[in-house]
Each structure stands twice: as structure tokens, then as C-alpha cells.
């Protein structure tokens, strides 16, 4: 028997460097499917992020205020170990294109092998956001392009300030 949504705890992991409207769309939709959604920032300094983990957490906390069942955390190490420690039984992953699916499928199968009690659910990006990625947003912003509507206004402002300093 399936658990009712109120007892489902999900993790939506990512680097969120920075958060985009595509991420927010998945957070909004995912929050309706579970009782508790934890948006988890991966602590991976090897990626050389534009924003620190603390900055990304702050941007996320500001952005997820409309959803009372959404909280923000961070982790390093194995995602499934973090999920288990949080009592999560579900991992949400966003899919924009077929190229995302191949990578995400490999990760989901490995996670299942490591922790079979934790399921992975893929959420398709909306048509409006299917081309948006943090990497592409940073690239466009760094070249002076207009990223309005791709990220929250507060993130757009932070990006402009950060990229002007470089």
C-alpha cells in the first residue's frame, strides 16, 4: 500500500548555483506531492561554484517561503545517506531533455542499489523552463544578456552584483 502524501518526505538535491525559475517550478509541483520537501544543496567545492553554499541556502530560503512544507538543507557525501538521515523515502530529480535522463537514470539505479527503500521520481521540466540551467543563466548574465524571467528577481540582482565584481 502506498504511503499517503502527508507521510512522504522527499529530497530535491542540486547545486542550485544559482536557483532558477525551473528549480522553483519543480519545488512548487513537488511540494504538492509530499508532506515535507527538503531542497538540499550539494556541498561540492570541486565544481567551483559562483556562490558559496551559505549564499545558495539563503537564496533558496528566500525563494521557497510560499511553500510551508518546504525546507532547505545541505549535504556532502552520498545523497541516499543524507536522505536516510532526514527520514526521506523519495528523491525528486528534474529532467529537461533526453540527455538529462541518461545521467539521472544511472544515478537513480545506483541509489536504488545502495538504499532500495528510497525511491527516485523524475519530474519533467515545464515547457517554459525546459531550456533553463544554472550554467546557462550564469553564462548569459556574464555576457550581459537579459535573464529576467529565468531566475527570481533577488537572484538576478545577486548575479549582476557578483558578475560585476569579476
pLDDT, block means (10 residues), the chain with 166 residues: 73 96 96 97 85 96 97 96 97 88 93 97 90 91 92 93 75
Is residue 23 flagged as an active site residue? yes
Please give the full DSSP string across 17-60, using - where no structure is assigned.
Answer: TT--HHHHHHHHHHHTTSSEEEEEEE--GGG--SS-HHHHHHHH
Helices (H), the chain: 21-31, 53-63, 79-85, 98-114, 134-142, 153-165
Could you say which DSSP state residue 69 is in?
T
Domain ranges across the chain: 5-131
Active site residue 74: no
Q: 3-state class of 71 per DSSP?
A: strand
pLDDT in tens, 54-72: 999 999 999 999 999 999 9
- Residue 26: predicted pLDDT: 96
For residue 165, the model assigns a pLDDT of 58
Q: In whole angstroms, what is the distance from residue 31 CA to residue 36 CA?
A: 7
| Catalytic choice (47, 52, 135, 157) | 47
Instruction: List, for residues 91-118, the tens digit of each pLDDT value.
Output: 999 998 887 888 899 999 999 999 999 9
What pLDDT sits at residue 3? 55
Is 134 annotated in the active site?
Answer: yes
Active-site entry in 23, 36, 93, 115 = 23
Catalytic residue (one of 43, 96, 112, 162): 96
CA atoms within 13 A on the CB side of 36: 13
Q: What CATH code is assigned to 5-131?
A: 3.40.50.620
For residues 15 and 51, the answer to whether their CB atoms sit within 8 Å is no
Amino acid at each position: 500500500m502506498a504511503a499517503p502524501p502527508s507521510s512522504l518526505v522527499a529530497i530535491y538535491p542540486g547545486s542550485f548555483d544559482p536557483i532558477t525559475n525551473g528549480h522553483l517550478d519543480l519545488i512548487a509541483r513537488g511540494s504538492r506531492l509530499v508532506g515535507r520537501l527538503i531542497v538540499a544543496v550539494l556541498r561540492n567545492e570541486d565544481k567551483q561554484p559562483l556562490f558559496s553554499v551559505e549564499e545558495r541556502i539563503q537564496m533558496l530560503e528566500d525563494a521557497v517561503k510560499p511553500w510551508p512544507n518546504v525546507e532547505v538543507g545541505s549535504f556532502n557525501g552520498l545523497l541516499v545517506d543524507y536522505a536516510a538521515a532526514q527520514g526521506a523515502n523519495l528523491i525528486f530529480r528534474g529532467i529537461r531533455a533526453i540527455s538529462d535522463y541518461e545521467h539521472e537514470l544511472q544515478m537513480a539505479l545506483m541509489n536504488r542499489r545502495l538504499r532500495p527503500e528510497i525511491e527516485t521520481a523524475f519530474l519533467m521540466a515545464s515547457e517554459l523552463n525546459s531550456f533553463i540551467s544554472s550554467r546557462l543563466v550564469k553564462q548569459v548574465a556574464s555576457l550581459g544578456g537579459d535573464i529576467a524571467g529565468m531566475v527570481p528577481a533577488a537572484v538576478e540582482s545577486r548575479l549582476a552584483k557578483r558578475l560585476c565584481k569579476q
